[in-house]
Amino acid sequence: MFFLNTRSLPVGGGVVAGAGSITVIDQTNTVHSVGELAAAIGGRDVLLITHGFNVNQMDGLQKLSEWGTLLGIGNAVPIGILWPGDSRWIHVVDYPIEGNDAMAAANLLAVFLNKNFTSALSLSFASHSLGARLVLQTVAGLKRPVRRLLLMAGAIDNTCLSSEYANATKDVGTISILASRSDNVLKWAFPAGNFVSGLFSRGAPYIHEAIGREGPSTDVTPPSNVHADWQIPDGWGFDHSDYLPAALAPAPMPPLTAFPGPDPPSKPAWSAAFETSRWS
């Protein structure tokens, strides 16, 4: 599995100096050429997957590559996106700064994709946590439409699809969301971090909840391309880290025939099965 690495350092640090400095690596951290990547994606659908905050390079490689093995997306090519989401300070206080890193990485990534992914049949995105901001910011900078988008445990305002990224969502075929009221990070750290962010950054996000807890805000009308089902049953206890594998990936699940489907034996396998079911 290929990865697009926007990090300047394996742990901490910021984003690379420019889009030309983004490197292509695999899950073993081996560097590959852009030409090898182009050969792999030519004429094929591509699913770009990214992690959230408090994730260093090796953790990102592990989690995303393991989740990729659980997907059933046919001939499509899964590609990971690495960005400097690991906290440099205290997790809650650091959240606003990491949001800026996500946007900086996204702006470079959009330039890279516009230049090097023209041969891909289509582009789709899946994200976890604060990776939602990265993928939405990337979509906003693309010169082509996006096939589909999945936001898992999105650590971003629940109004984002109808306000900050309203123009970007118009260029997406279908948007799916997975949200859980059992997500303790989004219950406590997201509001606290957004309170700090709202004092000196984008707008007034501290008055909103995360879209990854209860889906889009009822105060706004979601875009028509958003699937109606997003709330994971409370009894499943889906916490913030449950969407991606923490260690070796479990056995894959078949695609879901209905939402929410069966009580999952493995939560990461269930989230991958959800993506598989929405892929076609």
Q: In this model, does residue 192 exceed pLDDT 70?
A: no
SS3 for 251?
coil
Q: Which is more confident, 208 or 127? A: 127
| Residue 130 contacts residue 95 (beta carbons within 8 Å) | yes
70/79 Cα distance (integer angstroms): 14
pLDDT, tens digit, 9 for 90 and up, residues 164-174: 999 999 989 99
Q: What residue numbers bound the domain in which 55 lies?
A: 2-279
Structural domains counted in the chain:
1
Edge-to-edge order in the sheet of strand 2-5: 31-32, 23-26, 2-5, 77-82, 45-50, 122-128, 146-152, 172-178
CATH number at residue 147: 3.40.50
pLDDT at 258 over 60: yes
Q: Residue 124's pLDDT is what?
A: 98
Q: How far apart are the C-alpha atoms of 228 and 194, rounded to whole Å?
A: 26
pLDDT score, position 131: 95
When mean pLDDT is compared across 95-109, 117-131, 191-205, 234-248, the lowest value belongs to: 191-205
pLDDT of residue 200 exceeding 70: no
> Closest by alpha carbon to 215, among 99, 132, 148?
132
> 201 falls in which pLDDT band (50, 70, 90)?
very low
Q: By three-state DSSP, how is residue 108 classified?
A: helix
Phi, psi of 262 (to 5 degrees): -75, 155
DSSP classification of residue 19: G
**pLDDT bracket for residue 49 (50, 70, 90):** very high
